[in-house]
Amino acid sequence: MKLRGAALRSWLQAPALELAPQLLGAVLTTHRPDGRVTLRITEVEAYEGALDPGSHAYRGPTLRNGVMFGEPGHLYVYRHLGLHHCANLVCGPVGRASAVLLRAGQVIGGADIARTRRTGAGVCRTDPDLARGPARLTVALALAAADDGVDVCGPRGSVTLAVSLGSAANEVSSGPRVGVSGAGGDADAFPWRFWSSGEPTVSAYRRAP
DNA sequence: GGTACGATTGTCT
DNA sequence: GACAATCGTACCT
């Protein structure tokens, strides 16, 4: 059973923690002037809004995180350290600010285009590395600040998501989230990172400083 | 109006 | 394994 459009948005009303493992294997496509890139999601993290000390939404709505408090099915894209971008899929009911961070994926379409987008950046240009890590994923898909709030459930949007229920991932592993510090510094208390077991595209674990 | 800091990555030792 | 890059946001005065 494949979910897209309105059916997908309805499905995304569930909390992030529940949806995160089911999003493994989902297919995300971006349409850009330089071409179309498609990837299969292999690693995610759940963030539970106001209930979650590690979430950007923990302290309530602000100018930056406003999208997370809105309708599910939109992307929350933010800039990190002035250098990189990270992308989240907003889920849960409106106002809950529940979201799933897209940490890694396997490029299954337009790999040559994704590779081109990485020219000049780093030494890792083998295919599994194209979208290994949240910032690399946004580079491969050409997601940037302008995509903050974009709707992935639209019929003809520039970014589209398709979830195949049941055929997601063969085996799902879970563990503490990467780099989450602050009040939620105890990462082990929130083992809300999920990845497809055995995937070479999953990012390396780094504990928060 | 000023300052501290971050859901990361690439490079250097 | 350690650290610099780099800028918008959040929080304080």
CB A104 within 8 A of CB A129: no
Tokens representing A47 are 């963030």
Note the pTM of the prediction, 2 decimals.
0.94
Nucleotide nearest to A65 (CA to C1'): C9
Q: In this model, does residue A1 exceed pLDDT 60?
A: yes
pLDDT for the residue A63: 87
Q: In this model, does residue A181 exceed pLDDT 70?
A: no
Nucleotide nearest to A83 (CA to C1'): C6
pLDDT for the residue A182: 52
| Residue A16 φ/ψ region, left for φ over 0, alpha for ψ in the -120 to 50 degree band, beta for the rest | alpha
**Cβ contact A66 with chain C strand, < 7 A:** no
**Cβ contact A145 with chain B strand, < 7 A:** no
Amino acid found at A82? G
**Cβ contact A121 with chain B strand, < 7 A:** yes
- How many CA atoms, within 13 angstroms, populate the side-chain half-sphere of residue A76? 27
**Cβ contact A81 with chain B strand, < 7 A:** yes
Q: Tokens 């971008």 belong to which residue? A: A85
The least confident of A32-36, A160-164, A167-171 is A167-171
Dump pLDDT digits (tens) for A69-80. 999 999 999 999
**Cβ contact A65 with chain C strand, < 7 A:** yes
**Cβ contact A79 with chain C strand, < 7 A:** yes
Nucleotides of C under 7 A from a protein CB: 5-11
If you average pLDDT over residues A150-157, what whole number do you get? 92
The CATH fold of domain A2-196? 3-methyladenine DNA Glycosylase; Chain A (3.10.300)
Higher pLDDT, A160 or A170: A160
Grade residue A167 by pLDDT with cuts at 50, 70 and 90. low
Dump pLDDT digits (tens) for A125-150. 578 899 999 999 999 999 999 999 99
Q: In this model, does residue A91 exceed pLDDT 80?
A: yes
Q: In this model, does residue A65 exceed pLDDT 50?
A: yes
If you average pLDDT over residues A20-29, what whole number do you get? 96
pLDDT for the residue A191: 92
Q: How far apart are CA A193 and CA A179, in angstroms?
A: 11
Nucleotide nearest to A66 (CA to C1'): C9
Q: How far apart are CA A165 and CA A106, in angstroms?
A: 18
If you average pLDDT over residues A152-170, what whole number do you get? 85
**CB burial of residue A31 (10 Å; 0-12, 13-18, 19+):** middle
Instruction: Give the highest mean pLDDT range of A117-121, A123-127, A160-164, A166-170.
Output: A160-164
Question: Could you say which residues 4-43 of protein chain A have a Cβ atom less than 7 A away from any atom in strand B?
Answer: none
Q: In this model, does residue A121 exceed pLDDT 60?
A: no
**Å between CA of A77 and C1' of B2:** 27
**Cβ contact A84 with chain B strand, < 7 A:** yes
Q: In this model, does residue A194 exceed pLDDT 80?
A: yes
Query: Residue with CA nearest C10 C1'?
Result: A62
Tokens representing A90 are 């907003």
Three-class HEC string of chain A: CEECHHHHHHHCCCCHHHHHHHHCCCEEEEEECCEEEEEEEEEEEEEEHHHCCCCCCCCCCCCCCHHHHCCCCEEEEEEECCCEEEEEEEECCCCCCEEEEEEEEEEEECHHHHHHHCCCCCCCCCHHHCCECHHHHHHHHCCCHHHCCCECCCCCCCEEEEEECCCCCCCEEEECCCCCCHHHCCHHHCCCEEEECCCCCCCCCCCCC
Higher pLDDT, A105 or A184: A105
Higher pLDDT, A170 or A5: A5
If you average pLDDT over residues A84-98, what whole number do you get? 96
**Å between CA of A153 and C1' of C4:** 39
**Cβ contact A56 with chain B strand, < 7 A:** yes
Amino acid found at A176? P
